[in-house]
Amino acid sequence: MIKRTKDAPDRRVARTQMALRDALHSLVREKDYDDIAVKEILDRADIGRSAFYSHFRDKDDLLASTIHDIIGPVRFAKRESGGSQSDKLLWFSLPIFEHHDGHRWTSPLKMGPRARAILHERLRKILVGLIGQQVKKSRREKRGESGTIPTAVLVEYLASTFILVLEWWLETRSPLSADQANHLFRSLVQSTLTANGL
Amino acid sequence: MIKRTKDAPDRRVARTQMALRDALHSLVREKDYDDIAVKEILDRADIGRSAFYSHFRDKDDLLASTIHDIIGPVRFAKRESGGSQSDKLLWFSLPIFEHHDGHRWTSPLKMGPRARAILHERLRKILVGLIGQQVKKSRREKRGESGTIPTAVLVEYLASTFILVLEWWLETRSPLSADQANHLFRSLVQSTLTANGL
DNA sequence: TCGAATTTGTCCGCTATCGCACTCTCCGAC
DNA sequence: GTCGGAGAGTGCGATAGCGGACAAATTCGA
């Protein structure tokens, strides 16, 4: 009998990874990302060296994995099946904003250029995958009506714009509510979408 | 090569035991000790059943082990070598009071009769061992002058009195400082000690 | 610029913890 | 009563994490 739908991870794995991420988070708040030694992370997390390297290739890999803290909620949010065309396309947005509303998370933008680049890149890739599916599906359904912009570009555009808004929202500790931030994002891309039959 | 002075415990062991004790502590603050199921402790600590039983016989054993949270500081406090006769004898007192000053620890007296009895008994035994050594040493040095009270009784008397003061201090959340509580204890037993050549 | 010290990344034998299955006891519903 | 569900303990094979050793890379003060 193989494990079913719920791929329940070993408690030990979850614990170790969380400890390491938490340690990194707290360190990042104290000093620049590039000045943080792996050893410091290990000490603060109270985790052995070998455990670290059995999960992550290096410090950057650990940082990149914290992406899960950002997009994690999407996995649990029920995919909106109803709503308009763009509702289906941009369903991922609101859950993310909501989860980070009043969140302790230190914005990637406060981590110095290196860290920011790593997180930005990783987040972009994930979003592209996420949005790509939706866009392709929508375009398939509305074959013929599609605009002239290539799908790949459209996807990148949506991902980048979303990240832009998210980062701005986090960095400036904007008084906007999650709802409002979500709406802001939609406003930005709405006309482009409709102009392209989405 | 056997490990030397530092008996460094496996990180995993320390972590597991701490998680379990913390879970018990937090549960005790919410409901009566006797109403707490082992399963609840496991769930809150996020520890597997088998790990629990590889460290503790049962719930009571876990509770008893939390004694370390109370007398732990004594192990790290430097043994006062100087001072008067009674300073040497009662050196354990101040470190304990100091450590619990403003401590989150919920007094054993708030845990219902069962839990109180268990902790009380365990603490008593440890203190008897601790004080026993000192008293015997002191009496050996002052052979002949000793009073008529049997050593065993004297030791029990000191332990019980200390626990009395400690519990009272914790339970009533007395405004007394650690220093003052310590002094109170000493005042209580001082005359008895001097009357017995200590 | 050169060594010493520190950090990085890899490896390995040992063991604590995991997940799971199982029995036993207790207890409330019916 | 007795049935079913839930918690208490026990046992076991699999594995994640341990500590410690190591060479290579890096840092840094003399």
pLDDT per position as a tens digit, A42-81 = 999 999 999 999 999 999 999 999 888 778 777 766 665 5
Query: Residue A172 CB: number of other CB atoms within 10 A?
Result: 11
Q: Which residue has the higher pLDDT, B175 or B186?
A: B186
**How close does chain B come to A48, measured CA to CA in Å?**
9
Mutation target to probe the B interface, by most B beta carbons within 10 A, among A15, A22, A43 is A15
- Which has more confidence, A4 or A187? A187
User: pTM of this prediction?
Assistant: 0.80
Q: What is the mean pLDDT of residues B144-169?
A: 86
CA–CA dist B45, A11 (Å, integer): 11
Provide the pLDDT for residue B113.
Answer: 79
CB distance A171 to A107 below 8 Å: yes
What pLDDT is recorded for position A5? 41
Going by pLDDT thresholds of 50, 70 and 90, the confidence category of residue A147 is low
- Please check whether residue B186 is in contact with residue B89, taking contact to mean a CB–CB distance below 8 angstroms: no
Over 60: is that where the pLDDT of B29 sits? yes
Nearest CA in chain B to A47: B11
Confidence of residue A4 (pLDDT cuts 50, 70, 90): very low
Mean pLDDT across A4-29 = 87
Band the pLDDT of B1: cuts 50, 70, 90.
Answer: very low
Binned at pLDDT 50, 70 and 90, residue A39 comes out as very high
> Which one-letter amino acid corresponds to residue A31?
K
Give the closest-approach CA distance of B47 to chain A in angstroms.
8
Q: Which of B116, B120, B102 is nearest to B173 (CA)?
A: B102
User: What percent of chain B is predicted at pLDDT more than 90?
Assistant: 42
Q: Which residues touch strand C (CB under 7 A)?
A: A 1, 3, 8, 10-12, 37-39, 49-50, 53, 57-59; B 10, 12-13, 15-17, 46-51, 54-55
* pLDDT higher at A2 or B65: B65
φ, ψ at B136 (rounded to 5°): -60, -40
Alpha-helical regions (H) of chain A = 11-28, 38-45, 49-55, 59-65, 67-76, 85-89, 93-100, 112-141, 151-171, 178-195
| Mean pLDDT, residues B138-142 taken together | 76
Two tokens, residue A93 = 């947005």
Determine whether the distance from the CB of B53 to the nearest atom of strand D is below 7 Å: yes
Mean pLDDT of chain B: 85
